[in-house]
A = this chain, B = another copy of it.
Amino acid sequence: MRQGASPPPPIGYVPWDRPSPVLDALGGFFRHDSDPLQIGFYVDQHKVNARGFLHAGVLATVADVAIGHALAESTDPPTNLVTINLSCDYTGVAEAGTWVDGTIEVGRVGRRLAVGTITFVAAGRSIGTGRGLFLPV
Residues of A within 8 A of B (CB): 18-22, 24-27, 45-50, 55-58, 60-65, 68, 82-93, 107-108, 110, 112-113, 115, 126, 129, 131, 133, 135
Instruction: List residues of chain B with CB within 8 A of the CB of A92.
Output: 108
| Known contacts A57-B63, A60-B86; 19 further A-B pairs (Cβ under 8 A) | A21-B45, A21-B46, A21-B55, A26-B26, A57-B57, A57-B64, A57-B65, A58-B61, A60-B88, A83-B90, A84-B90, A84-B91, A84-B133, A87-B87, A89-B107, A91-B110, A108-B126, A113-B135, A131-B131
| Number of copies of chain A assembled together | 4
Pairs across A and B, CB under 8 Å, 29 listed: A20-B49, A20-B55, A21-B47, A21-B55, A22-B58, A25-B25, A25-B26, A25-B46, A26-B26, A55-B61, A55-B64, A56-B68, A57-B61, A57-B62, A57-B86, A58-B61, A60-B60, A61-B61, A82-B93, A84-B133, A85-B87, A85-B133, A86-B87, A86-B88, A89-B115, A89-B131, A89-B133, A107-B129, A133-B133
